[in-house]
A and B are shown apart, each in its own frame.
Chain A
C-alpha cells in the first residue's frame, strides 16, 4: 500500500496520521503527548508506526505542521512543511466540503479560519494569552479535581451558568474561587468556565470575523461537550465536530504531502524509519555575536549539525562554526 504520512508537532500533543492515495485514513491516528520533548515524541510515533505497518506498506510522502514543523521536517525528511492554518483548512474541507468557518482550539493556541467557496479568505490566531485555549480548561479542571471528560460532561448539568470574569487564566481562576466561596454549584461553575473560554475566544480570536455555518470545530478541546454547547449557545448555530477532530492538523499535512508528491510525480525525501535509532541531540544556546542575544536552536545527528535556526541574522548555518567560540552554551537541553 502506498501511504502518506502527516505529522503535527504542537506544544501539547504530537500526532501522526497515515492516509492512502485516495486520501482516506489508514490505521488509527496516533495522538501522543509532546511533554516538552518533540524529538522523543516524533521518534516514539515513528516507532509505533513501524510496528504496525505491513512489509508491503511504503511511505511515499511526508508532511509536517505545527509549531515544531521545521524541527520535525528536518528530522524525518519532509516533502512539505506547512503552517497549521493551511493544514487545518485542507483537512476540514475534506471532511465538510462546504465548510465556511473552522474553530480550532488546541492546548496553547487557538485559531479561527474563515473560508468561502473552499478557499481560506481570513484567519486569526490568539495573540496575547491562552484564556481562550485548552490549557485554560486543563488548569481549571485540575483545580476542581476533575478529568477533562468529566469536566465537559458536568457542564451539561448546569441550570444557570455563573459568569466568570478574567481575561487571563490566573484571574479567571481567582474569580472562580471567589464564586465557589459564594456557594455556586459545581455544574454552574464548570459551565461558567466553558462560557468564559468561549467568550474570550470569540472576543479575542473571533473578533470581527464573519462566522457563517457550516461551522467545524476541531482541535483537542472539541472533545469537551461543555465547550461545544457553549459555542452553540453563543453562536446560535450547529457545530460540527469531525470524527478525528484532535488530529486534523496532521491529517491536513498528510493530504498536502499527497498532493505535492502526486502533482510532481516526485520521490519522497522521507529518511526512512531508521531515524528512530539515530541519536538526535537538540540543544539551544545564546549567541553572543551581538546584543540581540538570539536563542539559537541546533539539532545534531550523531554528532554532526543537522540544522540550526532561531538566529535573526542568519550567521548560524549548518556550517561548522564552533559555537563555543562565539556563544555561551546552554546546559539545559532544548525544552
Chain B
C-alpha cells in the first residue's frame, strides 16, 4: 500500500510523523500549486468549495507518483467537508483512477469503525506504539505552531523578511526530519535564537486578526500568501486558529487543553451568533471579538467562495465591527481570485487601519467591506 493524503499548510509534517513511525509507506503529493488547482478544478463541481478542488488535485498528483490509497478525514456536517470524500470517490471512479479511499470518520459514527480502519492501515502494530506515534506527531504540531507564531511576530519587524522566511523554512524542514523530540526542540530553539538576532525596526506595529475557515487560513496557496503579504505591509498577524488546536478539536475530540482552543471563542460569539453553525462559523465570530478585546487594529476573514458557515459569520460581523469599533475585511477566495485584486484590497485595508490608529480610533469608518 502506498498511502497519500491531501495538503493543508504544514499538516503533512504532522501526519507524516505519525504514519512513518507506524511503519507506513507514504507517497506525498507535491506542494499545492497552480497545476494542482487546475487539475482539481477541471474535475470538481463548479461550486464545490476551493479546498475540495485542491484536495482532488492533490490526489491526482499523488497518483502520478504512484500512490494507490488515500487517507482522508470525514465528518458529520453540516459543513460540506464531511461529504468531500464521498463525492471525490465518485469523481475518481468516473475518471477511471484506481485509488482506494480510507475515510476516518469522527468517533460519533462509532469507535468501532474508526479502530477497524486504523487496524486496516497499520496492520498489527501494538496500541502502545500507536499512542507513542501520536504523541510524537503532536510534539511536531506544537513545534510548528511555535515557530510560525514567532514568524508572524517578527515578519513586520525584521529588515530582511526574505532571510527570516528562509530561516523559517529551514526550521520547518528540520522539524520534519527530526527523528525524536530532542531534535524537534533543538530545531525550534535554533530558529528562535537566530531569528531574534536579526536587525529589526522599532515601534508599534499594526496588528490584524486573521479569522475564517481553517483550510483557507492554514494553506498559503489557498489564501494567496496572505500572511506574507500582510507582513511585508508592516502588519503583525494574530491568527485565531492553529494547527495543533485543529488537530485537538478534530482528532482528539477536544480532550487536551490547548492554547487557542475553540470553547472560548464560542462564548465570545454568543451575543452575535448563538448557535453552532458548522465549520468554523462560530469561531470566526468569536475570534473577531477576541481580536477586538486584544486591541487589534482590524480583522480579516478568509473563506472559500460559497462557504456556508463563513457566510453566516460574515452576515453578523458588521454588528461586531460596530460594537467594538473594529474594521473587518472579508475575502472569499477560489481559483478565480486575482492576485492584483487581493493585494489592492489588503493595501487599502492596511491604510484604513493606519488612518484609524492615527486618529486615535475616533471616527467610526464603515466597518466592513468585502472583496473577491
Assess the B46–A166 pair: CB atoms within 8 A.
no
Assess the B42–A165 pair: CB atoms within 8 A.
no
Whether B78 is near chain A, meaning CB under 8 Å from some CB there, is no
Assess the A167–B34 pair: CB atoms within 8 A.
no
Assess the A204–B338 pair: CB atoms within 8 A.
no
**Beta-carbon nearest neighbor of B337 in chain A:** A165
Cross-chain contact of A171 among B41, B335, B341 (Cβ < 8 A): B341
**Binary interface profile of A, 172-194, with partner B (CB < 8 Å = 1, else 0)?**
10110110000000000000000
Assess the A165–B336 pair: CB atoms within 8 A.
yes
CB neighbours of B340 from chain A (8 A): 174-175, 177-178
Interface residues on A, range: 10 to 19
Q: Once the chains are docked, how many angstroms separate the CA of A177 from the CA of B372?
A: 17
**Beta-carbon nearest neighbor of B334 in chain A:** A167
Q: Once the chains are docked, how many angstroms separate the CA of A203 from the CA of B37?
A: 13
**Binary interface profile of A, 143-173, with partner B (CB < 8 Å = 1, else 0)?**
0000000000000000000010111000110
Q: Contacts A203-B46, A207-B46; is A178 near B41 (CB within 8 Å)?
A: no
CB neighbours of A204 from chain B (8 A): 46
Whether B108 is near chain A, meaning CB under 8 Å from some CB there, is no
Cross-chain contact of A174 among B41, B42, B335, B341 (Cβ < 8 A): B341
Nearest-neighbour CB distance to chain A for B40, whole angstroms, equals 11
CB neighbours of B41 from chain A (8 A): 203
Whether B45 is near chain A, meaning CB under 8 Å from some CB there, is yes
Q: Once the chains are docked, how many angstroms separate the CA of A208 from the CA of B340?
A: 31
**Beta-carbon nearest neighbor of A204 in chain B:** B46
CB neighbours of A167 from chain B (8 A): 336
With a 10 A CB-CB cut-off, give which of B34, B41, B46 has the most chain A CB atoms.
Answer: B46
Q: Once the chains are docked, how many angstroms separate the CA of A178 from the CA of B344?
A: 11
CB neighbours of B42 from chain A (8 A): 202-203
CB neighbours of A178 from chain B (8 A): 338-340
Q: Which residues of A contact B (CB under 8 A)?
A: 163, 165-167, 171-172, 174-175, 177-178, 202-204, 207-208
Ordered by A's residue number, 26 sampled pairs between the chains whose C-beta atoms are within 8 Å are A163-B34, A165-B336, A165-B338, A165-B339, A166-B336, A166-B338, A167-B336, A171-B336, A171-B338, A171-B341, A171-B372, A172-B338, A174-B338, A175-B338, A175-B340, A175-B341, A177-B340, A178-B339, A178-B340, A202-B42, A203-B41, A203-B46, A204-B46, A207-B45, A207-B46, A208-B45
